Amino acid sequence: MLTTENIAWPAPAKLNLFLHINGRRDDGYHELQTLFIFLDHCDWLTFHLNDSNQIDITPALADVPMEQNLIYRAAQLLKQHSEQPLGVTITLDKHLPMGGGIGGGSSDAATTLVALNHLWKINLSVDELAELGRQLGADVPVFVRGHAAFAEGVGERLQPVEIDKKWYVVLVPACHVSTADVFRHKDLKRDTPKQTWDELAHGNWHNDCEPLVKKNYPEVEKALRWLIEYAPSRMTGTGACVFAEFEHEHEARALLARMPTWLQGFVARGENLSPLYVTLQQVYARND
């Protein structure tokens, strides 16, 4: 019998279809404009509840201390909203690369917040969960809210949007790009003029982080150089992953089949509604 405790909860990848850096604030953060969509390519988390008052994660992430693991931090943050001895063992089936710019850690954290909010019966609102998520990382709220969005400010102002569903080839270069290092770098382009969403929806999209990342991470430059031979291509987020867009699945898979052996990658469909919220709706429907 399927129960809510043996459901595998998806933590989907995201793409930034553009990332425009508009300036640097006095507090060191950056004003930006970006467009988030979700992919149907996911990490998967399973939650087994207990009354141990402990949070355990298996398997452990290599080179990531438990206190820095965003899954652990998300569970601990949520646990503070209950006086019960809540415990859980979280099993992670990892598919999204770390440092790839497709939101692996942020998405895992958001899925932990959303799933345990339901399983632990904490019953926080989406707004409250998004505010908790903001404490964990700038991208966590968009995963918590679960809808494709145009983001402004430092990424905290989200406007839900509907984007035509496309197919994507996503390449995963063999490197880890530090978001903090990219935003600290003196050569980062920071002067793209702000535009309204109506202007951007039909505009010429680009990623202001791409020139800097290509310069400092030759693996990204090499992957993008190969991909752009076949289709218009760019980097997502602060990297390292790069992507190309297609109307049809067979076109994307045909290109992936030509991928050289020194590259890794996958094909995924773009989604406006996060796979996490499809799962949550199914859970609610089963409980009614």
Q: State residue 121 phi and psi, 5-degree precision.
A: 55, 40
- The DSSP symbol for 218 reads H
Q: Would you put residue 261 in left (φ > 0), alpha (ψ -120 to 50) or beta? A: alpha
Instruction: Show the DSSP H helices in 89-157 as ranges.
Output: 104-119, 126-134, 140-145
Active-site choice (43, 108, 139, 208): 139
Q: Respond yes or no: is residue 139 known to be catalytic.
A: yes
The model's pTM: 0.94
Active-site choice (14, 79, 166, 214): 14
Amino acid of residue 234: R
Q: Please report the pLDDT score of residue 2 as a whole number.
A: 41
- In sequence order, the β-bridge partners of residue 157 are 152
- In sequence order, the β-bridge partners of residue 266 are 170
What gap in Å lies between CA 286 and CA 288, rounded to an integer?
A: 6
**224 by DSSP, 3-state: which?**
helix
Residues of the chain with pLDDT under 70: 1-5, 288
C-alpha torsion sign, points 147, 148, 154, 157: negative
The per-residue pLDDT for range 115-162, each reduced to its tens digit, is 999 999 999 999 999 999 999 998 999 999 999 999 999 888 999 999
**17 by DSSP, 3-state: which?**
strand
Q: Please report the pLDDT score of residue 1 as a whole number.
A: 33
What gap in Å lies between CA 14 and CA 109, rounded to an integer?
A: 14
Distance of CA 39 to CAs 43, 47, 92, 146, Å? 11, 22, 18, 11
What gap in Å lies between CA 7 and CA 141, rounded to an integer?
A: 23
What gap in Å lies between CA 76 and CA 230, rounded to an integer?
A: 45
Q: Please report the pLDDT score of residue 85 as a whole number.
A: 86
Q: Respond yes or no: is residue 288 known to be catalytic.
A: no
Q: Please report the pLDDT score of residue 61 as a whole number.
A: 78
Structural domains in the chain, CATH included, are 9-162+272-287 (3.30.230.10), 167-269 (3.30.70.890)
